[in-house]
Structures are given as C-alpha cells and as structure tokens.
Chains A and B, each alone.
Chain A
C-alpha cells in the first residue's frame, strides 16, 4: 500500500462570526496517499474548500485552526511559522483556488505571471523559468510562445485554467490541490481538462487532491473519494467501492440526488431538509435530522469512524453494539 504524503488529524477550523463560531471543519481526519488522485466531494458549506486552505495555511484572518495537525512528510504544517511555510507553499504543495480563472492580473502578460511566481519563491533565473513554463504549457497542449506573450483576456476559459495548472506546477510540487477546477467550464472544455489532468498524473509523480461538488467528475477522475457533509468527513474509500456500495446514508442520498444521464429518472430524488446551522450544529450525527434511518443514538452521540479495510464510514448503522 502506498505511504501517506499528508495526514490530517482531528482538524478543527472555525470562522468567527457575530453569532458565534462557524464550525466549518470539525474534527476531520483524512490521509492523502502518495501519487494518488483523491477526490473530495461535498455541497457548499461542507468544509471542503476550508480544508484545502487549511492544508496550505492560507485561511482568511477570521478563521482559526482550533485543534489538530496536518503532517506533511513528518512535519506538522499547523505549527510552522511563515518562513517555514514559504518553503512548503508552491515548492511542495500547490493550490488552484476556486474561481481562480479571474485571479490572473489582466494588466500582466502570462510570462510575467510565471516570472513573478518564481521570484516570490526566490528564483531569479528567468531563463530557467521560461524553459520550465514552456515545458509545462506544452504538456498541457498549449503553444508556449504564443501563450506566454498573451494577456489573460486573450485566452479562453479552458486556456486560462491550463495556465493556472502550469503556474501551480512551476516549482515542481509534490501535491497539487484543485478546488472546483472545472466548474465554470463548458462540457467539452471540462472533458478536455479532465483528460489532461489524468494524463499529467500519469506522466509525473504528482499527488492530486480534486475538490468538487460534482460526484460524476469524481467518478471520472479519482482513485479514492472522501465525502464531506457539514464540516465532517462521513465516508472515505476507493471510488469503485464507494460508488458501487455506498455506506453512509448521506452518500447514498447524494448519489440519488444527481440528475444524471444514466439510471432511471424515477429513482432520482432530492434530500429532504437543509444543511444544518454550523454555528449550532445538531448534537450527534450532523446528518441525523435529514437521515431516514436515524435512531436515538444518532441524535445524541457522534458516530465513530468504522473501518472495513480501506472503506471508512462514520455512521452508527455500521457500529457493533
């Protein structure tokens, strides 16, 4: 079995708000294995983006890591200072944040973006930067010369997304975290980017964390999947296993709630109720108020993580009592 490159343990990230603390990530443990594509799926408010930002320690000022550790190759990212983190960000772990298509500076040519990224990490050798950038852009099936000369507005959405991937990979990181990388793209561009990422994964040594709300995309690209709900990881496992026999009632319901091209439309249905308030989450299992199988214990005590080989589920239904 592959070793873990990142181990998140008992992580709690809260945002301070007027009414109290928003428990965005609440006691999450998750391992990311070397060279895998881990899919993290969840609805808005499930904590998936917060988890990504926490790993890079790029949380906004009103957020705090209350508890837990994030071990990257033996070192705890949570206890690192800014100087040490600078050595991790982009050199070891890169992030393409959500809606990053608009993050490119419209007044700068693409080549300047590459130079500045390198400079921010102490690399002033522009020849090396151009060579590396050209190689990456070529790998992403773009014309390096033309693209490097362009301004962001001269590129299409799919091209910008590929430039961002190249920028994130400039310093040859070990881990690439992509937050909703295909959400704003058209069907055909999405397909192209997905295939490109698979190809990139095959050709390099990179570990990818792919965050999305779209379980179909996870089914298409990921090796393993982690399902998040209301700040918790509720199920983790190999994609084939989880999609074939999902265990957590939320995963089961989520899969039925997607209007898809396959399956019987009469069997698709939405999940009743709404996401819980993360300032005052319900005691016990957070899915209990919407769960058709909830019993008394679900409403009072938090469910344990139950392991069955590689398949982990956090639900009382599977606990031996």
Chain B
C-alpha cells in the first residue's frame, strides 16, 4: 500500500542575518526528514522545544515552502500541484493548534465558526442544512446537547470545550490527515485524556489519519499506544528513532530517547526516585544555526564513538517496525 503522505529528504531552512550587513546564516529547522504516513495511521512526533517538530507539521500542511526535498500526497508532489488541487490538498490536511484561546475568532459564535468551512466547500448550503450539520459535528465532539453550544461565543466556553470546537472545525471538511500540534498542552490536566480519547474515537468513526505533535512523552505514549500507532523522536531537525509506541517507551534504542525517558518523573514516588537518569556530556542543545557534523547528538551523547563525530548515521531497522539512526546499532 502506498503511503498517504510520503516525506522525502525534507529540509526547511530559515535565513537569519547577524547584524544589518552581516553574513546570512540558516536555521536548519528540519534537516533531512524521511517519513511515511499511511491512511488511518497514528503517528506521534515527540521532541523538545526547538527540534523542528512544529515546522515539520506546518510544512506537511502546506503552510511553509520546503527548502529542499519532497512531500508526496498519494504519490503526487504537492509543490507541483495546480492551484485548485493544492487548495483541495489544504482541505484534506487540517491543523489543530496548541492554543484554543487564540485559534477561535472571539466575535463569532460556534455556529458561525463551524458553518464557514461547510459553506466554503459546499458541504452544506441552506441554513437548515447548516444547523443540522453543525449540530451533528458538535455531538460528534461531545458537546451535547448541541443547542446549548450553537450560539455561544468562545469566551463562554472552557479551554477543553474550545479545543473540541477547533477539532469539530477540523473534521467538518472531511480531511484525510489531521495534524494536531500540542493540542492538550493548554488544557486542564484532568481533561487532557478526554481530548485524546475524542481524537481516537473520531479515528475509529471517520478513519482519520493523525500526525500528533507533542513534547510530552506520556501523552505521546497514551495516544500512540491506544491507537496502535508509532512514535517518532526528533532531535535538531532529524528523526532519530521511530517505532511502535510501547517499543519506543519501554525499550528505547537511541541514546537521546534513553536519556529523555530516564529523566521524566513518573507519578510513583518509589519508581521516580529509583530512576537513574543517564548523564549527558553537556546540557546545552547545540545551535541549529551551526549544528555539529556527523551525528547531531554526538556532542552530548555519553556513548559516542569516533565515527559519530564525522559520519551522519542513517535510519536503520533494528527490530520489527523499529528504526534508529545511531552508529551503535550498525554492525561492522
């Protein structure tokens, strides 16, 4: 089966200038990413701030032009689509952002917000149809009874309810892929799983494909493990490890993943204090303006060998569906 989205050697560089007449530098936000996303799959992208996960998501959504490499949608390069087909692509890939407070227009009611895309794409036209369809969407995202929410303004809703409206807006135009960028970070702790469950439920009902972007390994594990999906770990613009959810969490391969997982506190005093965090050679992330040669993690990696300083490791399969970009796993 062909992937829905195939990302090939994708690079996204942002130019910056030091001083007014200074030399131009490039922030290499995404630097050579290969990724396949299959129909109906759940892919979770985890990484620390500045690793390029949001840029990767936005580029796949067609909001940022890549510097190099290709994004294939059902086999077709999205940079070569004509305007009409590209708009169609933009419809079939929807984004859900982190902040449900700023992603809804405060002057519009829920009904107005949700009926705009329906009218734009000719999914519903008459007012009767619109009310019916919007009500269905609201029940689908758990805002029941819909009559209570149709004519509310964003400020009358809680953070969790707003995020549900944003999700309803994303699914309203029947997208094939939803890119959810930190959708639960600003939601109250006790309601976070509720939003993830809603997204998983919609996947079952509507066969939606997800790219879920987060910095939180716990949330990544929950979403990917419950949805039978994959976790990909990103570091300085590259994917360093990808594999089945519990495989990556319980038995991480890449030193970076191992370091991160060893540092996350867990809600069990005995376990959390027994954990032995793996010590890094340096706490500072190298600047993406001038990333180190070879493996980008070698400056901090406690297991680095000579080869890591010069050669960039490729992603290689180590276990079933579990790949890692690290020389330690290459037999010579």
Q: Is the CB of B283 within 8 A of A219?
A: no
Question: B192 on the interface (CB 8 Å rule)?
Answer: yes
Complex contact A259–B218 (CB within 8 A): yes
In the complex, chain A residues whose CB is within 8 Å of the CB of B188? 43-45, 274-275
How distant is A130 from chain B, measured CB to nearest CB, in Å?
A: 26
Check B267–A194 contact: CB distance below 8 A: no
- Complex Cα distance, B194 from A217, in Å, reads 22
- Offer 9 A-B interface pairs, CB within 8 angstroms, sorted by A: A188-B260, A195-B277, A215-B267, A216-B264, A216-B272, A258-B189, A260-B267, A261-B264, A271-B190
- On chain A, the residues within 8 Å of B309 by CB distance are none
Judging by beta carbons under 8 Å apart, are B283 and A243 in contact? no
Question: Which one, A89-97, A108-116, A163-171, A249-257, is touching chain B?
Answer: A249-257
Asked if B259 and A219 make an inter-chain contact with CB atoms under 8 angstroms apart, the answer reads no
Q: In the bound complex, what is the Cα–Cα distance between A261 and B217 (angstroms)?
A: 7
Q: In chain B, what residue has the closest Cβ to A213?
A: B189
B158 contacts A219, CB within 8 Å? no
B267 adjacent to A265 (CB under 8 Å): no
With A220-B273, A261-B218 already in contact, 16 other A-B pairs whose C-beta atoms are closer than 8 Å: A45-B188, A156-B284, A186-B49, A187-B264, A191-B264, A191-B277, A192-B283, A214-B189, A216-B267, A220-B272, A259-B222, A262-B267, A262-B271, A265-B226, A270-B192, A275-B158
Those of B201-245 within 8 Å (CB) of chain A:
215-219, 221-223, 225-226
Shortest Cβ distance from residue A123 to the other chain B in the assembled complex, whole angstroms? 33
Q: Which residues of B contact A (CB under 8 A)?
A: 48-49, 158, 160-161, 188-197, 215-219, 221-223, 225-226, 249, 259-261, 263-273, 277, 280, 283-284
B50 CB to nearest chain A CB (Å): 9
Establish whether residues B193 and A254, one from each chain, have CB atoms under 8 Å apart when the complex forms.
no
A118: interface (CB < 8 Å): no
Chain B CB count within 10 A is highest, among A44, A188, A258, for A188
Given the known A-B contacts A187-B260, A261-B261, A262-B266, are A274 and B158 also in contact in the complex, defined by CB atoms under 8 Å?
yes
A269 at the interface (CB under 8 A from B): yes
Cβ of B161: which chain A residues have Cβ within 8 Å of it? 274
Nearest B residue (CB) for A189: B283
Map CB proximity to B onto A233-272 as digits: 1 under 8 Å, 0 otherwise.
Answer: 0000001100100000000011101111110011011111
Collect the chain B residues with CB atoms within 8 Å of residue A43's CB: 188-190
Chain A residues with CB below 8 A from B160, complex form: 274
| Complex CA distance for A260 and B188, rounded to whole angstroms | 16
Known contacts A260-B218, A261-B221, A266-B226, A240 near B191 by CB under 8 Å = no
Majority-rule SS of B interface residues = helix
User: Across the interface, do B269 and A254 meet the contact criterion of CB distance under 8 Å?
Assistant: no
| Alpha-carbon distance between A253 and B48 when the two chains are bound, in angstroms | 28
Q: Using Cβ atoms and an 8 Å threshold, which residues of chain B touch A156?
A: 284
Determine the residue in chain B with the shortest Cβ distance to A241. B269
Residues of B within 8 Å of A265, CB to CB, are 221-222, 225-226
Given contacts A187-B260, A188-B280, A270-B194, contact A219 B267 (CB under 8 A): yes
Residues of A within 8 A of B269 (CB): 219-220, 239-240, 243
Which chain B positions have C-beta within 8 A of A275? 158, 188
CA distance A70 to B76 in the complex (A): 68
Kindly list chain B residues whose C-beta atoms are within 8 Å of the C-beta of A195: 277
Within 8 Å CB of A269, what residues of B?
Answer: 193, 197
Task: Give the docked Cα–Cα distance between A265 and B216 (Å).
Answer: 15
| Residue A21, interface by CB 8 Å | no
Bound CA span A265–B229, Å: 13
- Asked if residues A191 and B263 are in contact (CB atoms below 8 Å), the reply is yes
The interface residues of chain B lying within 8 Å CB-to-CB of A254 are 189-190
Contact of A270 with B260 at beta-carbon distance under 8 Å, contacts A243-B267, A243-B268 already known: no
Smallest beta-carbon distance A261→chain B, Å: 5
In chain A, positions 151-168 with a C-beta closer than 8 Å to chain B are 156, 158
Residue of A nearest to B191 (CB): A270
Is there contact, CB below 8 Å, between B190 and A219?
no
A190 lies within 8 A of chain B by Cβ: yes
Assess the A258–B270 pair: CB atoms within 8 A: no
A274 to B157, CA, bound (A): 11
For the complex, give the distance between the alpha carbons of A215 and B217 in Å.
15
